[in-house]
Amino acid sequence: MQQDFGRRPPGPRSVLLAEVAQATQRLADAGVPSPRTDAEELAAFVHGVKRGELHSVKDADFDARYWEVIARREQREPLQHITGRAYFRYLELQVGPGVFVPRPETESVVGWAIDAVRAMDVVEPCIVDLCTGSGAIALALAQEVPRSRVHAVELSEEALTWTRKNVEGSRVDLRQGDALTAFRDLDGQVDLVISNPPYIPLTEWEYVAPEARDYDPELALFSGEDGLDLIRGLERTAHRLLRPGGVVVVEHADTQGGQVPWIFTEERGWADAADHPDLNNRPRFATARKALP
C-alpha cells in the first residue's frame, strides 16, 4: 500500500495557523511573490514570536491587528517596511521609508568580496562601500572580516537617518557625500571597493516590482537611460581609491552582465575583469583588479 507522508496528522488546527493559511491566499491573489513566507513573518511580527514559534501562540491570544498588516502587504508595501527590519547575512537592520531595502542577491556579492579580501592576506584590510544605503554591505564586511577598516558613503540624507542607527556601535566610518568624489583621504590605499549602486535603466521603470518602484527611493534605483551612468563614474572612483592589485566589486542588473565588465578595461588600468552569477545563476556582479604599474 502506498503511504502519504505529506498528509497533515489529524487533530485540531490553531486559530493563528488557519488565519495564516487564509492570509497566504490573499497575498497570493495580490501578486505577492512569497505569500506563505510573508504571511508567516507578519504573524510572527504581530504576535512577538519567531516564525518557527507560531504554533505556540494560543487561540485566545490571536491579535486581530494581523489583518491590518496583511492589508498593507496586499497593497504591496514591502514586508520590511511593515516590520521595520531587514535581514542581511548575519545582520538585522532597521529600514523604512527613505532607505533601500537590502536584497538577498547582494549577499552573494558580499560573499565574493569576503573571500577576495581573505585571499589578499592583508593584516588590516581597508574596505570602501560606495552607495551604502542602510549600511548592509559595510556592516556585513566589518562583522565578517576581522580587523578590517570599513568606510561607507551615502548621498541621501533620508537614507542616512537609517544608516546612522544601523552603524551605531560598529566600527564603520560613515560619511555623507557623493560616491564619485568621496574619500580623497584614502586615495591609493584601499584594498577593496564594493558597491551596489542604482542601476535600473529608466526604460525599465514599468517592469519594476511595485515594492521597489513605489517604496524604494528613486535615487536608489535608477541611473540614466541604460542604468549604467553611476557605474561608469564609479569605475574612476574605484581606480583612484584602490592600491595597485586592489579589487573592485560592483553589483548590476541581471541584464547588464555583458556590459559592466567592459567598463573595467586594460586601457583604463584594470586587469582580470570578470562577471559573476548570483545564487539563481543570473549575471549579478562584475569584478576587476587594479593593474600593477
Ligand X SMILES: C[S@@+](CC[C@H](N)C(=O)[O-])C[C@H]1O[C@@H](n2cnc3c(N)ncnc32)[C@H](O)[C@@H]1O
> What angle do helix axes 65-74 and 35-47 make, rounded to 10 degrees?
140
Q: If you search the block for the grid coordinates 566589486, which residue do you land on? A: 249
Q: Does 198 bind ligand X (CB under 6 A)?
A: yes
166 is catalytic: no
- The closest alpha carbon to 132, from 225, 260, 251, 226, belongs to 251
- Which position among 35, 78, 125, 197 bears the catalytic label? 197
Q: Does 196 bind ligand X (CB under 6 A)?
A: yes
Nearer to ligand X, 69 or 128 (CB): 128
In the complex with ligand X, which residue's Cβ is closer, 182 or 273? Answer: 182
Q: How far is the CB of 136 from ligand X (least distance, A)?
A: 4
Smaller CB separation from ligand X, 16 or 101: 101
- 146 among known catalytic residues: no
Which of 15, 30, 54, 155 is the binder for ligand X (CB under 6 A)? 155
Spell 199-221 as b/e; 16+ CB within 10 A means b: bbbeeeeeeeeebbbebbbebbb
Q: Which of 126, 186, 193, 219 binds ligand X (CB under 6 A)?
A: 219
Query: Segment 71-100, which members bind ligand X (CB under 6 A)?
Result: 100
Q: Restricting to residues 241-260, which ones interact with ligand X according to CB under 6 A? A: none
Out of 45, 88, 100, 222, which one is annotated catalytic? Answer: 100
Minimum CB distance to ligand X smaller for 24 or for 132? 132
Q: Binding to ligand X by residue 166, rule CB under 6 A?
A: no
Please name the amino acid found at residue 15.
Answer: V
Phi and psi at 200, nearest 5°, equal: -80, 130
Stretch that binds ligand X, among 139-147, 150-158, 164-172, 274-282 (CB under 6 A): 150-158
Residues 109-148 that bind ligand X (CB under 6 A): 131-134, 136-137
Nearer to ligand X, 91 or 159 (CB): 159
Query: Under rule CB under 6 A, how many of the chain's residues touch ligand X?
Result: 24
- Would you call 100 a catalytic residue per the annotation? yes
Interface residues with ligand X (CB under 6 A)?
100, 102, 106, 131-134, 136-137, 153-156, 159, 178-180, 196-198, 217, 219-220, 230
Active site residues: 100, 196-197
